């Protein structure tokens, strides 16, 4: 009985720590966005929606990372040590679905159903590198794979403390896992919103 109580307390503490960490990240993210709306940190941390004039163009300055860019392109944020994730085969077999087998005549069976048989897949790291956010799009400089994606091809970006997901206008989403700085995430969100308003 003591073991069950101990395990319950440990799991409760892990849940509380995760919740506090996520809410702290979210608060820093909102403060980062509010900075460009010229809001005080106390007010920005409580905002769920930012309306009004955004002063990003006046306040933000591009960073120099030593990469040659196309004319007029500027880097505003960089996320280091991100893993590009992809669904890869795990080597295990799996099957499932509904099957029906009905005897029609001796040694003759009618078979029907929705079945699936194949190799299992899971989300695995494909490459490790840096994601750069520019005024024209994003590009990923990885050790095994590079990706360049213009803002007009990105339908939505989802950012949290553990990763970034970019949903393209066609194809499967691009998933990056790693530690995300909330201030850089705020810059990426604002650059994406600025492109949407053009």
Strand partners, 94: 118
Q: Give the separation between CA 4 and CA 10, rounded to whole angstroms.
A: 10
Residue 177: CATH number of its domain: 2.30.29.30
Per residue in 176-192, pLDDT tens? 999 999 999 999 999 98
Provide the number of structural domains found in the chain.
Answer: 3
In which order are the strands placed within the sheet that holds 75-105?
A: 146-150, 137-142, 108-134, 75-105, 174-177, 163-168, 154-160
Looking at the structure, tell me whether residues 71 and 132 fall in a common domain: yes
Planar angle of CA 97, 102, 104, nearest 5 degrees: 150
Closest among 89, 77, 116, 114 to 99, alpha carbons compared: 114
Q: Tens digit of pLDDT for each residue in 27-78?
A: 999 999 999 999 999 999 998 889 888 898 888 889 988 888 889 999 999 9
Domain that holds residue 111: 94-120
End residue of a domain, out of 57, 79, 105? 57
């Amino acid at each position: 009985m003591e073991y069950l109580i101990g395990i319950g307390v440990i799991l409760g503490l892990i849940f509380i720590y995760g919740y506090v960490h996520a809410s702290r990240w979210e608060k820093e993210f909102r403060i980062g966005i509010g900075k460009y709306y010229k809001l005080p940190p106390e007010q920005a941390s409580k905002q769920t929606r930012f309306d009004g004039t955004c002063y990003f163009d006046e306040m933000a300055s591009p960073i120099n990372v030593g990469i040659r860019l196309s004319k007029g392109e500027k880097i505003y944020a960089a996320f280091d040590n991100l893993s590009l994730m992809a669904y890869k085969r795990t080597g295990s077999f799996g099957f499932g679905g509904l099957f029906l087998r009905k005897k029609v005549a001796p040694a003759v069976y009618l078979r029907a159903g929705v079945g699936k048989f194949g190799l299992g897949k899971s989300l695995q790291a494909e490459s490790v590198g840096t994601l750069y956010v520019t005024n024209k799009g994003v590009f990923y400089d990885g050790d095994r794979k590079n990706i360049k994606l213009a803002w007009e091809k990105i339908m939505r970006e989802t950012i949290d403390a553990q990763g970034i997901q970019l949903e393209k206008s066609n194809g499967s989403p691009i998933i990056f896992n790693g530690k995300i700085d909330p201030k850089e995430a705020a810059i990426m969100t604002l650059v994406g919103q600025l492109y949407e308003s053009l």
